[in-house]
Structure 1
Amino acid sequence: MKKVSIIDVAKLAGVSVSTVSLVLRQKGKISAQTIEKVKEAITELGYVHNVAAANLRANTSNLIGLIVRDFTDTFNLKVITSIVQTLEQQGYMVFLAHPQDDEERLVQCLLSFSRQGVAGVIYLTANATRLTLPEPVRLSSLPLVTVSQAMIEGQYDLVMRDNRQAAAQATRYLIERGHRNIAYVGGEASCQIRAQRLAGYRMALQHYGLPYKEEFTPPCQEETNAARLATRRLLESNNKITALLCHSSHAIIGCLNGIHQVGRTVGKDVFLTQQVSLLGFEDMLQINLSSPSFTYVSSASDETGRQAAALILRKIQQSDLPPQRIVVSGELVLRESA
């Protein structure tokens, strides 16, 4: 059976080959009537457009490389979904790579992307202790956008969460509800996300004339039991604390257990001394299935993904575009815990 070509489509539709090509690529000013005729001819003949071959001829690509360091991170998973959906809506396909912390594998990923002819790369870093990008990423010649949960040093195209704003917003909310002794639990001492949130927390306290107390911000390992022990010690030595900012999902669960172990409960009422308000920084479905449901500042993961996808497309279309830094802010979602 003879393979249907673009010439056959043009003949049946009664238009030129270049017109069919423009319709397939969604380029140029073509009338709706002509587009419909071409589409009808494509359907009748069963023509299949070879996108890869067309890209090769035009020296363009509809492929985007996506490098993900950590698949266990809830924020990253939501960002990945948003990136893929946004790029697919624009006619792009995504190649996924997972080099973990192996720099040699990262080099191979970037080399493979180059050989596949990707138009650009999005790099999702989840290393909250590192202030710089890995050398292979810094030296890559491909158009590249980094998505990070913390600040990255250098002039790079970056989309990141506004951790300082999130913590300041959460702290202001608690203060305005009447809390005067607010603690922050969780995050390792080297964690940049923690450092940025503590800056926002401290800024809000200062704005309201409240003192910053080092003992109210205990760091701990990123695990439930460590957060439980930290919470228990904190509340046993500071019984005036009425609210806790929880660094992560592990911290929320640990704080819950620690609060119950010292004979207190979770709740909004600052005037009931046994209650402790809890406020997190993620929308974690598995936790919000429990009671009470948790108040949190959203991670804005969907918007982060959309911004990253839009930025890589701008970089592809404008190679001389100067580096851009996009900071995405979350929203306070009020539930039952604060």
Structure 2
Amino acid sequence: MKRVSIVDVAKQAGVSVSTVSLVLRRKGKISAATIERVHAAMNALGYVHNVAAANLRANTSNLIGLIVRDFSDSFAIKVMASIVQELERQQYMVFLGQPQDEGDALERCLLSFKQQGVAGVIYLASDVTASSLPEKIRRCPLPLVVVSQSLQEDACDLVIRDNRQAANLATRYLIERGHRNIAYIGGAENDRIRLQRLLGFGSALAQYGMVLREELTPACAESTQAASQVTRQLLENNNTITALLCHSPNAVIGGISGIHQVGRTLGKDVFLTQQVALLGFEDMLHVNLTSPSFTYVSSASEETGRQAAGLILRKLNEPDLPPQRISLSGHLVIRESA
């Protein structure tokens, strides 16, 4: 069977070959009616556009390399899904890499991207203790966009969560509901997300003439057991605490356990002294299925993905674009736990 060509499509649609080419490349000012006619001709003839061959001829690529280090991080997974969805909407495909370290494995990943002809790279940073990017990423010769949950000091194109805003928003909400003894649990001492949120926590307290007390901000390992233990100790030593800000999903689950261990309950009523309000920074459907639905400040993960995809495409179209920093604020989702 003869292979259907762009010439056949042009004849079928009654337009020029160049018009079909522009429609396929989504370039030029082509009327909606002409575009519809070309697509109808393609469908009638069974034409399949060979994107790889077209990119080779034009010395371009519709591939974007995406590096995800941590598949256990729900924020990263949601961001990844949003990036893929947005890039596919723009006719780009994703080439996924998961290097096991920031040295040789990351270097091999970037080399593989280059060999596959990717046009640019999106890097989902996973080290919340690092203030700068891995050396291999800093030296990446391809257009690069970084997505991070913690502030990076490198001059790079960055899409980031505003952790300080999120904690400030959460704290002000609790104070306005009548809470005066609020604690922050979880996160390692050197966790940069924790440090940024504590700044927001402290600034909200200061707005209401309150002082951040270090004994009410216990750090702990990233596990439910560790969070449960520090929550129990915290509530036993400070029985006037009525609300907890939880650093992570593990801190939420551990916090619930610790609250129950000291004989208190989870809830938003500040006037019931046995209740402790719980508020976090990410939706957790599996918690909502088994406990009072969870109040949180959204992580803006979907918008983060859309912004990262949009920024890498802008960089491809505007190579001289100065480094961009996009900081995304979360919004409060009020449910039953606070």
* TM-score, normalized by the shorter chain, greater than 0.5: yes
Q: Aligned pair 1:210/2:210, yes or no?
A: yes
Q: CA deviation at 1:15?
A: 2.7
With normalisation by structure 2, the TM-score equals: 0.97
Q: Where does residue 95 of structure 1 map in the other structure?
A: 95
Q: Where does residue 80 of structure 1 map in the other structure?
A: 80
Q: CA deviation at 1:59?
A: 1.4
Q: Where does residue 264 of structure 1 map in the other structure?
A: 264
Q: Which moved more, 1:61-70 or 1:41-50?
A: 41-50
For residue 108 of structure 1, give the secondary structure of its aligned residue in structure 2.
helix
After TM superposition, list the pairs within 5 Å mapping 1:158-197 onto structure 2. 158-197=158-197
Q: Which runs of 5+ in 2 are unaligned?
A: none
Q: Which moved more, 1:271-280 or 1:73-82?
A: 271-280
Q: Aligned pair 1:53/2:53, yes or no?
A: yes
For residue 147 of structure 2, give the secondary structure of its aligned residue in structure 1.
strand
Q: CA deviation at 1:102?
A: 4.2
For residue 100 of structure 1, give the secondary structure of its aligned residue in structure 2.
coil
The residue type paired with residue 105 of structure 1 is: A
> Percent of counterpart pairs with the same letter?
70
Q: Where does residue 310 of structure 1 map in the other structure?
A: 310
Q: Which moved more, 1:3-12 or 1:328-337?
A: 3-12
Q: CA deviation at 1:31?
A: 3.2
The residue type paired with residue 233 of structure 1 is: Q
Tell me, in whole angstroms, the C-alpha distance in 1 between the residues paired with 2:106 and 2:170. 37
After TM superposition, list the pairs within 5 Å mapping 1:1-338 onto structure 2. 1-338=1-338
For residue 129 of structure 2, give the secondary structure of its aligned residue in structure 1.
coil
CA contact (8 A) 2:159 2:327 kept: yes
Deviations 1:148-201 (A, max 9, x none): 000011210000111100111111111111111110010011110100001100
Q: CA deviation at 1:77?
A: 0.6
- CA 32–222 in structure 1, closer or farther in 2 if over 3 Å, else same: closer
Q: CA deviation at 1:32?
A: 3.6
The residue type paired with residue 74 of structure 1 is: S
- CA 48–186 in structure 1, closer or farther in 2 if over 3 Å, else same: same
Q: CA deviation at 1:212?
A: 1.3
The residue type paired with residue 85 of structure 1 is: Q
Tell me, in whole angstroms, the C-alpha distance in 2 between the residues paired with 1:17 and 1:175. 66
CA contact (8 A) 1:295 1:335 kept: yes
CA contact (8 A) 1:70 1:100 kept: no
Tell me, in whole angstroms, the C-alpha distance in 2 between the residues paired with 1:140 and 1:218. 38
Tell me, in whole angstroms, the C-alpha distance in 2 between the residues paired with 1:195 and 1:23. 50
Tell me, in whole angstroms, the C-alpha distance in 1 between the residues paired with 2:197 and 2:124. 20
CA contact (8 A) 1:68 1:100 kept: no
The residue type paired with residue 72 of structure 2 is: T
The residue type paired with residue 137 of structure 1 is: I
The residue type paired with residue 43 of structure 2 is: T
With normalisation by structure 1, the TM-score equals: 0.97
Tell me, in whole angstroms, the C-alpha distance in 2 between the residues paired with 1:28 and 1:13. 18
For residue 105 of structure 1, give the secondary structure of its aligned residue in structure 2.
helix
